[in-house]
Structure 1
């Protein structure tokens, strides 16, 4: 999608935007890199800089036909210190399509915090793989905070 953004529109026109889920690997801008939002899109698992503003890219992708955005915080991924709520806020202010928060879950209450900051869904892996918490604990925390859970 980064190399050929118009592909998002082509797929959305042909199959509907509900099938277009754009994964955005973003991080806070490192020293020497500057974007208006302070977040940059990366590729190759967060190892390559693009210089593209992550918030602008999310908005552009939504305008082109993305039906959902999976927002991966490369800074928070695997660290278990919580989702990057500031990044979620920044993207949510610009896009009105479903937003999935990824990267940073460490405690059950982190899931509710992400939902409070505009995530329509949350994604976690290591906390479940390593048995730090159960899916049920995450669901219970979301329910307790008043968020719908399936």
Structure 2
């Protein structure tokens, strides 16, 4: 039986960790290296860094952040934001990341998934999917560019396609739930889990300790990602893990 993972997410903008609601109204949380080291010591299973305002000018800042972070933490580190080429993959991995997450670039150039998987290994390739419920309530569409552009692509069809192309994992964010603290989007999460055979990380909406139990009990998701609930010290990772163990969820020590 595979243990479930608890993953703090650090949204990084201009070298600082920030947090917003529904992808907007960003607040400065602090230094990413210090925060990452704290979570490493707290018992996080992995860390995710997302450069949410990635541009060419900021790329060096992010590589420096990754390099400094990898020297301080000893858990898997996934980095995403602004990755557009195999060269970007190489630079981020060389800086110390264990996995690279792509989102908009995968939509614009799906073959990048295959090329990266063949060159660096499937385990290094994470495809981030930002999904939002359609107005007809009959499914979800994929959004890109930090949630600003509706691609018109169905989330479930895209999830199946990225698996075929060589993605090793899906980082699934519900835009409807993101930052709302109303709980993970169980319907979206389980629909994607059923559509693919690779690990899925649930993201968006965690607001209380019970939300972790709900997403693990009501879906077959492999990991739960959270940001503000950890950043603002509402819960510690140890508290979450102890709670989940008591509720019968198989969790890493």
RMSD of aligned residue pairs (Cα, Å): 1.5
Partner of 1:64: 165
Count of paired positions: 146
Partner of 2:246: 144
Report Cα offsets for 1:35-91 as digits up to 9, x if no partner.
xx6101001221211101011101110111000000001110100010000001110
Q: CA deviation at 1:140?
A: 2.1
Partner of 1:92: 193
SS in 1 for 2:107: coil
Q: Is 37-46 or 97-106 further displaced after alignment?
A: 37-46
Partner of 1:115: 216
CA distance in 2, matches of 1:108, 1:78: 15
Misfit runs of 4+, over 6 Å: none
CA distance in 2, matches of 1:81, 1:137: 19
**Structure 1: which 5+ residue stretches go unaligned?**
none
CA distance in 2, matches of 1:143, 1:63: 34
2:203 paired with 1:102:
yes
Q: CA deviation at 1:147?
A: 2.1
Partner of 2:68: none
Partner of 1:23: 128
Q: Which has the higher strand share?
A: 2
Q: CA deviation at 1:7?
A: 1.0
Q: What TM-score comes out, normalization by structure 2 length?
A: 0.55
Q: CA deviation at 1:131?
A: 2.3
Q: CA deviation at 1:135?
A: 1.6
Highest CA radius of gyration, 1 or 2? 2
**Structure 2: which 5+ residue stretches go unaligned?**
1-105
Report Cα offsets for 1:8-29 as digits up to 9, x if no partner.
1111111210001111111111
Partner of 1:73: 174
Q: What TM-score comes out, normalization by structure 1 length?
A: 0.91
Q: Check whether the contact 1:111–1:141 (CA below 8 A) recurs between aligned residues.
A: no
